[in-house]
Each structure stands twice: as C-alpha cells, then as structure tokens.
Amino acid sequence: MNTPLTHTTVLLNEAVEALFNNPQANSDEIPAAGQTYVDATFGRGGHSRLILSRLAPQDHLIAFDKDPDALTEAATISDPRFSIRHQGFRHLGELPKGSVAGVLLDLGISSPQIDNPVRGFSFRFEGPLDMRMDTTRGISVAQWLADAEVDKIAEVIRDYGEERFAGPIAKAIVARREALGPFSTTTELAQLVADTVKTREKGQNPATRTFQALRIFINAELEELQQALEASLHVLQPGGRLAVISFHSLEDRIVKQFIAKHSKDEYDRRAPFAAPKIMQLKALDRVKPSAAEVAGNPRSRSAIMRVAQRTAA
Ligand SMILES: C[S@@+](CC[C@H](N)C(=O)[O-])C[C@H]1O[C@@H](n2cnc3c(N)ncnc32)[C@H](O)[C@@H]1O
C-alpha cells in the first residue's frame, strides 16, 4: 500500500473560528487560570494545532481520542497548554461543570484509519476485519460476526447502514459462517455483500452501507455522540461554543435534534403551571465545506458543521 497515512482536516478555519468567535470568552472576565477548550476528536491534530495557535499563554486545550495512533501523534506536540486523554469523548462530562469555553467534535474516522489496511475499516483493502477505533479494548467486527444472531446482524445493518438488503446480507453472513467458518478479512465480507446485493447504487461500492453500519455499531458511535452532547451542556460555560462536524445523516440528525430540543424552553405537560426548563442552547450556524474545499478534499463532501452557544440557564 503506497497511500501516505495523512489526514486533511475538514472545515479547519470554520470550526476554529466557531469556537473562538465568542464575546464572553474574549471579554475582560477571562479567569486568571485561562480558558479551556476541548478537541474531542484529536485525529492527527489538525484542529488542535490551529486552536493552540490561537490560545493565550494561560489557556488550555484538552483533547480526546480513542485511537492509540492518535495518541502517538499527539505526543509530538510539546506545548504545556496541551494534554490528551486516551478515552471516548463521552468522558467529557468528567470535566468540571461550566469550565469549558468551547467543545469541538469532528466525528467519524480519520483518513489514516480508513487507509491503513491493518485497521480493517475499508472494503478497498484486504485486511483483518477489525474496525475498532480503540484497538486496546473491545471486540473486532470479525469476533462479533462469529456468533451474533442473524436478527441482530440484520438490525445493525438496517439501522446503522440504512441498507435495504439488510435481511438477505445477514442471512448470507450466517450461511457462509456455518459453511466455511467465521470471516477474518475485509475482502471476504465485501465480496459476500457484493454477491448478495444485486442492485447497485451509482458511484457506491455495494459494501459501503454494511461497512458503515458495522463500524458504527462496534464503536457504539451514536450512543457515545448522544452522551457527549449531553455532557457538553454540563461542561460549557455560559456563552461557550459547541461545534460538531458530521459526515452522515444518522449523526447529523442526532446533532440537529439535540440542538433543537435544547434551543427552546421545555414545559412539563404533567405540571402545566410549573416554570419551564429554560433553553440551554442557542443554535448559531450550519456550515458546509466550500466548493474549493470539496474539490481539494473529496472526503469533505458530506460534512455538515452545526454550531450552538450555551446560554446562561
Ligand atoms: C475525523 S477524525 C478527526 C480529525 C481531526 N479533527 C484532525 O484534524 O486531525 C475523528 C477522530 O476521532 C476519533 N474518535 C471517533 N469517535 C470517538 C469517540 N467516541 N471518542 C474519542 N475519539 C473518537 C477517531 O479515532 C479519529 O481519530
């Protein structure tokens, strides 16, 4: 494999601008200890490096990533204002209440993860069927498929891949497992899906939806996103910014509904005369990559960034 394992950061300036364009954080009331920002998805550090270049000497950047390779990259940053945690971003809520001026989530996987056959994320390369972001814990897709129930496999592929042929694919996986033993490689699974899905979506490999579904499931991506969004309400200070970059409709729907839910006062129907729970977020922006960015980095084409601001409630 000759592809260099690099990552081109998506919406780099737009995301960092969204975090910093915050009058409260830039006001005279800056705490002596400085402001704290969170890059919840360090990856190869594209956003983190630009955030660091914008920090005051007393500010801090706390990063998170599940991937040991991201941690190795982070170790090359020698800036006392920077630290990284090898944890899922649902642990964001462990930071002190109201202590953070901005949280960025750039969801999904990085190019080095997709392009490294050893990680098993891509149907384009022969590799072990792994797909874990954190290779130090949990089980691989191959291990899960070795004994998962057919109905559960179908549910995962349908719900997380929005795949019309989820049922036939699940049955084919189980039949093949019973006949030949468990899958071990990406290309075995991709071939089985291609043989099972008879219709083709334009410009898309037939295994795209199945691979997306298994990756989301094995990493509990949507559950962890929901937990991180809830946690952001706890850690953001009034005026603090939340910026989330999504790459597919399942993620974006969760982010959009979360911001909408918390951007209005909530009345309790069982207690109509009780004071409402005051809105906790103000929706600010929805940003897509420019045509020039998409031309230079086709992987950015499906990105949508939503930005919201924590209210004083
Ligand atoms: C799209 S990349 C981020 C790229 C980064 N913004 C950059 O410019 O280099 C997403 C990263 O988030 C990490 N990640 C995804 N879900 C995570 C989670 N729940 N907790 C922690 N890290 C996660 C992945 O391992 C990957 O490194």
Q: Tens-of-pLDDT digits for all 313 residues of the chain?
A: 455 689 999 999 999 999 997 666 565 565 667 999 999 999 999 999 999 999 999 999 999 999 999 999 999 999 999 999 999 999 999 999 999 999 999 999 999 999 999 999 999 999 999 999 999 999 999 999 999 999 999 999 999 999 999 999 999 999 999 999 998 999 999 999 999 998 888 888 999 999 999 999 999 999 999 999 999 999 999 999 999 999 999 999 999 999 999 998 777 788 877 877 788 999 999 999 999 999 999 999 999 999 999 998 7
Ligand 1 geometric centre to CA of 313 (Å) = 30
Residue with the nearest Cα to atom 8 of ligand 1?
46
Atom of ligand 1 at shortest range from CA of 69: 27
Atom of ligand 1 at shortest range from CA of 87: 21
Question: How many Å apart are CA 266 and CA 276, to the nearest integer?
Answer: 5
Ligand 1 geometric centre to CA of 173 (Å) = 29
Give the 3-state DSSP-derived string for the chain, with helices as H, strands as E and coil as C: CCCCCCCCCCCHHHHHHHHHCCCCCCCCCCCCCCCEEEECCCCCCHHHHHHHHHCCCCCEEEEECCCHHHHHHHCCCCCCCEEEECCCHHHHHHCCCCCEEEEEEECCCCHHHHHCHHHCCCCCCCCECCCCCCCCCCCCHHHHHHHCCHHHHHHHHHHHHCCCCHHHHHHHHHHHHHHHCCCCEHHHHHHHHHHHCCCCCCCCCCCHHHHHHHHHHHCCHHHHHHHHHHHHHHHEEEEEEEEEEECCHHHHHHHHHHHHHHCCCECCCCCCCCCCECCCEEEEEEECCCHHHHHHCHHHCCCEEEEEEECCC
Q: Is 89 in the pocket of ligand 1 (CB under 6 A)?
A: yes
Q: Is 44 in the pocket of ligand 1 (CB under 6 A)?
A: yes
Ligand 1 geometric centre to CA of 134 (Å) = 11
Q: Is 88 in the pocket of ligand 1 (CB under 6 A)?
A: yes
Q: Is 47 in the pocket of ligand 1 (CB under 6 A)?
A: yes
Ligand 1 geometric centre to CA of 275 (Å) = 39
- Between β-strands 281-287 and 304-310, what pairing exists: parallel, antiparallel or unpaired? antiparallel
Atom of ligand 1 at shortest range from CA of 43: 27
Cβ neighbours of 67 (radius 10 Å): 23
Q: Which residue has the tokens 């920090």?
A: 55
Ligand 1 geometric centre to CA of 67 (Å) = 8
pLDDT of residue 3: 52
Q: Is 70 in the pocket of ligand 1 (CB under 6 A)?
A: yes
pLDDT of residue 130: 97
pTM of the complete model: 0.94
Structure tokens at 12: 């780099």
Question: How many Å apart are CA 107 and CA 112, to the nearest integer?
Answer: 14
Q: Is 7 in the pocket of ligand 1 (CB under 6 A)?
A: yes
Q: Is 9 in the pocket of ligand 1 (CB under 6 A)?
A: yes
Atom of ligand 1 at shortest range from CA of 46: 8
Q: Is 117 in the pocket of ligand 1 (CB under 6 A)?
A: no
Question: How many Å apart are CA 303 and CA 313, to the nearest integer?
Answer: 30
pLDDT of residue 64: 98
